[in-house]
Chains A and B, each alone.
Chain A
Amino acid sequence: IAGITQAPTSQILAAGRRMTLRCTQDMRHNAMYWYRQDLGLGLRLIHYSNTAGTTGKGEVPDGYSVSRANTDDFPLTLASAVPSQTSVYFCASSRQPLGGDTEAFFGQGTRLTVV
């Protein structure tokens, strides 16, 4: 059982380049999320999707975009990377939106360094 798969595992990216972080889940969960983890700041929500075809903004959405064309995939795109986007990115999913009685499952994370 794969659960949530993120790719790549790590990446070094030149500033100004475009980058898409991939996330796929095989649990048929309705909701998916992207978080970034930074030292001293914990995990902060970037974007989320409660169901295929819908997306919403989290705490720190600027510089990122997402799409949810189907249930399984939730890619995160950095249109023009900046050094402040250096972080560890976690994709997560939950059976239903997290306002309900359900927990989120996380991928292994993508370590992104923007130079």
Chain B
Amino acid sequence: AQKVTQVQTEISVVEKEDVTLDCVYETRDTTYYLFWYKQPPSGELVFLIRRNSFDEQNEISGRYSWNFQKSTSSFNFTITASQVVDSAVYFCALGGYNTDKLIFGTGTRLQVFP
């Protein structure tokens, strides 16, 4: 069975702090894909990143970085120097090669205070 766990329900930080959102996944597939989506207060879901299971290179995009570790089945997301505009619910998701579906975690609500 596939499962995504985001243990942090809510995180509050002050602007300019670094924050890491944790994501742990379970799958029996050898080929799979991991995703992060952002849901700002306006409600839409915004795609942030996709990573396939064969690519464990960490990725950096501006203030965002992702740490993929197959050994611990984790795909954590770090925001450096957080800003108020980063306030949102962030979802980690798993897509399996043989499932044709995207399984979401329960989300982490990030609040960045000025």
Contacts and interface: CB of A to CB of B under 8 A. Distances in A.
Interface stretch (A17-25, A39-47, A60-68, A72-80): A39-47
Interface in A75-107: 88, 90, 92, 97-107
A97 B101 CA distance: 7
Interface residues of B, number: 25
B43 A98 contact: no
Contact of B102 (A41, A101, A104): A104
A107 B42 CA distance: 12
Contacts, number: 62
Given A31-B100, A98-B100, A98-B102, A42 B44 contact: no
Nearest to B100: A97
Interface of A: 31, 33, 35, 40-45, 48, 50, 56, 58, 88, 90, 92, 97-109
Interface of B: 6, 9, 33, 35, 37, 43-45, 47, 50, 52, 91, 95-107
23 contacts: A33-B101, A33-B102, A40-B106, A42-B6, A42-B91, A43-B104, A56-B100, A90-B45, A92-B102, A98-B33, A98-B100, A98-B101, A98-B102, A99-B95, A99-B99, A99-B101, A101-B52, A103-B35, A103-B47, A104-B47, A105-B47, A107-B44, A108-B44
